[in-house]
Homo-oligomer: A and B are copies of this chain.
Amino acid sequence: MEAKELRNQIRNGTFDKTTSGAAGNHVQANVVILPKRYAFDFLLYAMRNHQAVPIIEVLEDGRTESVYAEGSDIRTDVPRYNVYRDGKLSETVDDISDWWQDDFVTFLIGCSFTFEQAITDAGFEMKHIMQNRNVAMYRTSIKTVPAGIFSGDLVVSMRPFRKESVERIAEITGMFPDMHGRPIHHGDPDAIGITDLGQPDYGDSVELIEDEVPVFWACGVTPQNAALNARPEVMITHAPGHMFVTDLYNEAFKVRQPE
C-alpha cells in the first residue's frame, strides 16, 4: 500500500491498528506535539540525545502538513494518539482536532521500523513481528543528557537474536545512524538497569529461547518518558506502534559507511 493511501485510511478510520509492516518501505515517525514555549528545550534535548531522538522534521506552530507527507494532516493521520496532561496520560484518541492549539509545534522523530525493514530484507525474522505484537520497550538506568525541563532515563527497544547473528544485525542497523543506528547493548539486561525482561515498561514481552541474546536499541519513546519528568501542561504523542507514515523511503536514510 502507498503511504498516502494508508494515511487516508487512517484519517477516515478504516485503518485503526498498529502501523508496523504497513507501507513497509516508507519511513514512519514517532510524534511529539508540544506548545511552543517548550519547543526550544525539546529540540535541544533531541539534539543532545540524537541516537534516541533523531529529528526528521519540525512543523512549527501554524503548520499541520509535513513536507514529507503530501496532503497530510498531523491532527488526523496518526491511528492513535496519547494526550498527556501534567505528565500523566489523560486520553487515548484517534483524532486530535478538538485538542489542537495554534501554538503547537510538532516533532517527527525517526523510528525503528526503518531498520526492522532492513533486518527483514536481510533474511532475519523478528519474534514480535511473527507474533504480531508490539516490540518490547524498557526504561534503563542510562541517563539521557538533560535540556531545560527535559531529562530522564533512556528507553530502549529489545529484539532477541541468536548469538552468532548479533554482529551482523548490529551492522545492518548501523547503516541507519539517523534511525537509532547500532544497538546500545546486547547480552546482560542488568548491566543497563533492566531487572525483568518479562515485564517491559511499554509494548509486549517476547520469550527468549536458549541460544538467543537480547539486543537493545535507543528508542523514540525516550521523550515520552522525559515528559513524565517535565510535566508540561499538555503534550500529545502517537500511541506506541501507531506511527505517522511519511512519503519518504527507508532507503534514503541508509548510509554507505556504517557509523
Contacts and interface: CB of A to CB of B under 8 A. Distances in A.
Interface stretch (A2-10, A35-43, A73-81, A135-143): A35-43
Contacts of A43: 40, 43-44, 47
B60 A147 contact: yes
Interface in A204-229: none
A30 to B, nearest CB: 17
Interface size class of chain A, counting residues whose CB lies under 8 Å from the partner chain? 10 to 19
A148 interface: yes
A55 B147 CA distance: 15
Nearest to A36: B40
A43 B58 CA distance: 11
Interface string A20-47: 0000000000000000100110011001
A44 B58 CA distance: 8
Q: How many copies does the complex hold?
A: 2
Main secondary structure of the interface of A (DSSP, over half): mixed
A40 to B, nearest CB: 4
A36 B37 CA distance: 10
A257 interface: yes
A256 B123 CA distance: 30
A39 B40 CA distance: 6
* 8 A-B pairs with the lowest CB-CB distances in the bound complex, closest first: A40-B40, A39-B40, A257-B257, A43-B43, A44-B58, A60-B148, A40-B43, A43-B44
17 contacts: A36-B40, A39-B40, A40-B40, A40-B43, A40-B105, A43-B43, A43-B44, A43-B47, A44-B58, A44-B60, A47-B47, A47-B55, A47-B58, A60-B147, A60-B148, A256-B257, A257-B257
Interface of A: 36, 39-40, 43-44, 47, 55, 58, 60, 105, 147-148, 256-257
